[in-house]
Amino acid sequence: MTTTITPLIAGNWKMNGLRGSLEELTELAGMLTTGEAPRAVVVVCPPATILHMIASNGATSGILAGGQDCHAAASGAHTGDVSASMLADAGAQYVIVGHSERRADHGETDEQVRAKAEAAIGAGLKPIICVGETEAERDAGRAEAVVAGQLAGSIPDAAEQHEVIVAYEPIWAIGTGRTPSNEDIGQMHNSIRRQLIERFGDKGATMRILYGGSLKPQNAREILQVENVNGGLVGGASLLAKDFYTIISAV
């Protein structure tokens, strides 16, 4: 982990969570406020239906809220979509864009992800831009090239003046229980860092690069020690307060 960068641990609840899930947030808040102060920024990205409640209830314990996606437009005839300004109005400070499930299930392109990131920045949010290769792309030896293309196409130029986070998620490891070796993770994160520095100079050296993809309490401490891993984007393990706190504490 790059020690000069404050780590960020973000929980992506995906399409999970009802009002009753606030009990887990309350439990997590208790752990964060009664135990040793976390050495990481903690973000929870719930479904939009409970985003405002998460933002309100988590504020006193330092838990920040984020959205899981946003539309590129500020408003308009986009039934069922949520704009970045709506997320900000509900209390979000972050938003995930370009998650592999959005890219795969909704056919989102790098250009569309870039537009969403620009909209997020315009609304005062910090975008978490996801990149990652499929198993076939890794097996073909194209993992770094694929991720490089996604970085170039998905990160807006505005990242030079605003906070933007990159999340590397090998698609084949998401929700499967499989993880790349620490050597593979380090190689990819170092590659991402080089590209960020090449494009953004000194700013690229300070941008957070999160790891996601079956990040769990059992492997968090080891993975979070890898060079240029500046935190994690956590899926299923973030739904349970105890598991999520264990990952946060691994920083």
Is residue 144 annotated as part of the catalytic site, yes or no? Answer: no
Neighbours of 164 (CB within 10 A): 24
Cα–Cα separations (whole angstroms), residue 242 to 168, 246, 247: 24, 6, 9
d(CA 175, CA 216): 10
d(CA 188, CA 196): 12
Question: What would the DSSP string read from start to end of 69-130?
Answer: --BSSSSSS-TT--BHHHHHHTT-SEEEES-HHHHHHS---HHHHHHHHHHHHHTT-EEEEE
Q: Token digits for 26?
A: 């309350």
Catalytic residue among 99, 101, 133, 189, which? 99
127: left (phi over 0), alpha (psi -120 to 50) or beta: beta
Q: Token digits for 96?
A: 């995930």
Is residue 52 annotated as part of the catalytic site, yes or no? Answer: no
Q: Token digits for 75?
A: 């408003």
Active site residues: 99, 169
